[in-house]
């Protein structure tokens, strides 16, 4: 799975109808007959056809994320692909440091001892009754 953040757009305005009519939009498969052509993801699009895969809002002139060759706006990407903390269920911001344990993500302040609620991030801990505990509270 390759993830990419890009905001590279190229607009072309062709004067030659014959050149434009042979090119097709990657979304609607209609030829370009007038106006701008947007180039993104190694394809050509009508600007109004280059939209977020989820919310369908236009992505022309804004940055976007890509997963499996599908474009996503920043909001949909955040809601659907950013990791969520297993304790508080809030989205973990990409600028935050966080930890993972057993394929679950945690804010550092959310990974705590079930008894004393002190952070266990970077510390030894034990598992008891499906809870995490510092050695003092096992």
Residue 11 and residue 75 in one domain: yes
Tell which of 81, 109, 127 closes a domain: 81
**What's the pLDDT score for residue 34?**
79
Q: Residue 29 and residue 126: Cα distance in Å, rounded?
A: 58
| 90 domain-assigned | no
pLDDT at 4: 42
- Answer whether residue 118 is part of any domain: yes
Cα of 91 vs its chain's centroid, Å: 12
- pLDDT, position 12: 52
Could you report the per-residue pLDDT of 5-46, keeping only the tens digit for each?
444 454 455 554 444 556 899 999 999 887 888 999 999 999
- Sign of the alpha-carbon dihedral angle for 90, 95, 98, 103: positive
Q: Would you state the pLDDT for residue 54?
A: 98
Q: What phi, psi does 71 have (nearest 5°)?
A: -85, 145
Q: Long-range contacts: 86-94, Cβ < 8 Å, 24+? A: 86/110, 87/111, 87/112
The CATH number of whichever domain residue 122 belongs to comes to 2.10.110.10
Rounded Cα–Cα distance for residues 87 and 84 (Å): 9
Residues 13 and 72 in one domain: yes
**Size (the chain), residues:** 138
Identify whether 120 is part of a domain.
yes
Domain encompassing residue 10 = 3-81
Count the neighbouring beta carbons within 10 Å of the beta carbon of residue 43.
13
Give the total number of structural domains in the chain. Answer: 2
Q: Does residue 113 share a domain with residue 66?
A: no
Domain membership flag for residue 9: yes
Do residues 76 and 53 lie in contact, with contact meaning Cβ atoms separated by under 8 Å? yes
pTM: 0.66
């Amino acid at each position: 799975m390759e993830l990419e953040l890009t905001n590279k757009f190229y607009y072309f305005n062709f004067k030659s109808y014959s050149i434009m009519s042979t090119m097709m939009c990657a979304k609607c498969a209609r030829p370009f007959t007038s106006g701008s052509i947007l180039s993104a993801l190694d394809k050509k699009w009508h600007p109004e056809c280059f939209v977020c895969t989820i919310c369908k809002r236009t992505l022309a002139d804004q940055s976007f994320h890509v997963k499996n060759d599908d474009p996503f706006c920043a909001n949909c990407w955040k809601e659907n692909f950013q990791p969520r903390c297993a304790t508080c269920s809030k989205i973990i911001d990409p600028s935050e440091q966080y930890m993972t344990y057993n394929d679950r993500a945690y804010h550092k302040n959310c990974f705590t001892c079930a008894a004393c609620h002190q952070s266990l991030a970077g510390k030894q801990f034990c598992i008891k009754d499906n809870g995490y505990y510092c050695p003092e509270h096992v």
